Structure formats: C-alpha cells, structure tokens
Amino acid sequence: MTVTETGRVFQTTSERRLNHAMLPMRLYHKAKKLGVWDPRDIDFTQDQRDWQSLNEAEKRTVIRLCALFVAGEEAVTLDLLPLIRAVAREGRLEEEMYLTTFLFEEAKHTEVFRRFLDEVVGETSDLSVYHKDNYRKIFYEYLPQAMERLIDDPSPEAQAEASVTYNMVVEGVLAETGYYAFFNSLQRQGKMPGLMQAIGYLKRDESRHIGYGTYLLSRLISEHPHIWDVVNRRINLLMPYALGVVQDLFAEMETPESQQLAAELGITEPPFGFDPNEFLGYATKQFQSRLHVLERARGKSVDEIYKLSEETVGVEA
Ligand code: MN
Ligand code: FE2
C-alpha cells in the first residue's frame, strides 16, 4: 500500500507511534548528535602551509584522490533521492527519518572536498581527467542507473540492486578504502590536520550510511529470500570495477611519466609509502565482513533484523 491510497493511517497517531529501538531510528538519533559538523568550521590554515611542503608526486596523489572523492560525493548526493522516495512510499517512517540525515551529510561531504580544493590546493582545472574507465563505469553508469530505476520500479529487486551499488560498493568498498588511504598516508606524516579532521567526520558519517544499507539489505533478504541471489549477482558484476578503481590509482603512480618525474626529483619511495596490496586487502576485508552480516539475515525474521546492533554493522561511535 502506498501513502496516497485512501484509508491513510498515520503511524504517529496510531498505537505504533515511533519505534526507537529499530536500527534506523538509533542511527537517526546518532546522526543528530554526530552528523551536524559544519564543513566551514574546519580550519585549513596549517593545511595550506603543509601543502607547500609536499613534493610534486605527493601533490598529484592528493589531487587525484580529491578528484575521485569530490565527484563521488556529488554523485551520491544527486543520486540518493529515489531510494528515499521508495522507502517513504512504503510508509517506513523510521527509515525515512534516518535517510533525511543521510542526504544532508552527503551534501556536506561534497562541500568539504570542494572547499579543500579551492582553499588549500587552489585547483580550478578539469579534474574529470582523473576519472578512468573503472571509475566511469561505476559513477557515470551503474550508480545513477540503479538509483534512477527506482522512480519507475521500486520493487525489492530494484531496491536491492540500488543498495548494493550505493551502500556496499560505492560507500562500503570505494569510500571506505579511500578514506583509509588518505588517513594512513597523511596521518602517518602528521600533515593536513584540517583535512584529517574532515575525513574523521566523513568516516563516522559513512559508517552510519553503510550501517543503514546493511540493515536495508538484511531486511529485504529476510522478507524475500531470493534477494540474496540478486545481491550476489550484483556484487559479482560490480566488484571487478570497484577493485579496478583502486588498481587504477596505483597504476597512475607507476606510469613512465610519473616515474621519470620521481627520478628527477630524487624520490625513491612511492608517494606517502603507499602499498597497493594494503588497500586492496583492506577493501576486501571490509566488504567480506558485511557480506557475512547479509548472509546471516537469510532465514531471520524482520523483528530480528530490527534488532541488528550498531556493532554488528560496523557503526562508529
Ligand atoms: Mn559521503
Ligand atoms: Fe555516504
């Protein structure tokens, strides 16, 4: 039943009231406390000084990562709405209440990366040149297609494909691995405190987003057992591209051009001591742990899914 059919019953005037025990509602309460940081409050003064101290290879790496992130955050900001609408049309008030915080947070993630590019890097050129084939496949095709499809087809199958693409692959593999890469490179050097602060907030916001996605897919699998197969097919389709994005990033650092530049500058180490295997290993591990949660949703009741804990779905406190 959709909310526009006659015989409408408001949940908040019925005995159901609001279910504060459900995971989405607990995430909503967390988001109101933790998701309200202001990108404009971040102090980039030290970052501006640190930027000058980076070598050319390091600068390029940061710009390349920012080019993937700023567009990725823009994409998830623009593409989320059809999923919110599909959930709202099913009358899932608690889930929609949580999703209101989700979209607001993605908007701020977009803002903070653009602000960093403007005020620290001073970059105004076309950064889409850093979007290689694997990235384009996901952010220019699969993500917007899966999300837009929900406008005409809000079926459980379409919702599952959308959530796998958005929450499991884009957020769960790409965003998380990217933050990890940023954090581990710049943090190790004690540089860019403003950017590190922003990424700390982003990671925490993102853990709630992925937690919701894990909840949504668990619920869909619990309600419709065949969705497990839909989820797996979608994962198998997208994973090669997702891992390809990570590989492309490292391949870029190893082009003859960048190696020559490194030689001229007397740089023998990869930028920030990056190790591709570390990131691919991290991406795979994070993903496997969530797949495990979804697998366990098979044969569970929806009531049990409601009780999924923040810990189980990896939400940061
Ligand atoms: Mn985000
Ligand atoms: Fe997100």
Domain that holds residue 122: 22-311
| C-alpha of residue 155 to centroid of ligand 2, in Å | 22
pLDDT-derived band of residue 92, with 50, 70 and 90 as boundaries?
very high
| C-alpha of residue 266 to centroid of ligand 1, in Å | 36
| C-alpha of residue 24 to centroid of ligand 1, in Å | 17
Whether 305 is in a domain gets the answer yes
**pTM score:** 0.94
pLDDT mean over 257-277 = 69
| C-alpha of residue 11 to centroid of ligand 1, in Å | 30
Q: Which of 2-11, 105-114, 143-152 has the lowest mean pLDDT?
A: 2-11
Q: Which ligand is nearest to the CA of 202?
A: 1
Whether 7 is in a domain gets the answer no
| C-alpha of residue 171 to centroid of ligand 2, in Å | 6
With CA atoms as reference, report the closest residue to 148 among 162, 135, 136, 131: 162
| C-alpha of residue 287 to centroid of ligand 2, in Å | 15
Whether 9 is in a domain gets the answer no
* pLDDT higher than 80, residue 156: yes
- Which CATH number belongs to the domain containing residue 155 in this structure? 1.10.620.20
Whether 17 is in a domain gets the answer no
pLDDT mean over 227-244 = 96
pLDDT tens for 198-208 read 999 999 999 99
* pLDDT higher than 80, residue 269: no
Q: What is the pLDDT of residue 71?
A: 98
| C-alpha of residue 225 to centroid of ligand 2, in Å | 26
12-41: b or e for each residue (b if 16 or more CB lie within 10 Å)? Answer: eeeeeeeeeebbbbbbbebbeebbebebee
Q: What is the pLDDT of residue 251?
A: 81
Contact (Cβ atoms closer than 8 angstroms) between residue 301 and residue 222? yes
| C-alpha of residue 188 to centroid of ligand 2, in Å | 25
Q: What is the pLDDT of residue 31?
A: 98
Q: What is the pLDDT of residue 229?
A: 98
Q: Which ligand is nearest to the CA of 102?
A: 2
The enclosing H or E element of 182 equals helix 176-189
Number of domain units in the chain: 1
Whether 14 is in a domain gets the answer no
Whether 13 is in a domain gets the answer no
| C-alpha of residue 133 to centroid of ligand 2, in Å | 22
Q: What is the pLDDT of residue 252?
A: 75
Whether 135 is in a domain gets the answer yes
**Of all residues in the chain, what percent are helix, strand and coil, respectively (each to 5)?**
75, 0, 25
pLDDT tens for 282-306 read 888 888 989 999 999 999 999 999 9
CB atoms within 10 A of CB 11: 14
Q: What is the pLDDT of residue 257?
A: 67
* pLDDT higher than 70, residue 245: yes
Whether 11 is in a domain gets the answer no
The enclosing H or E element of 56 equals helix 56-79
pLDDT mean over 143-154 = 98
With CA atoms as reference, report the closest residue to 92 among 225, 212, 204: 212
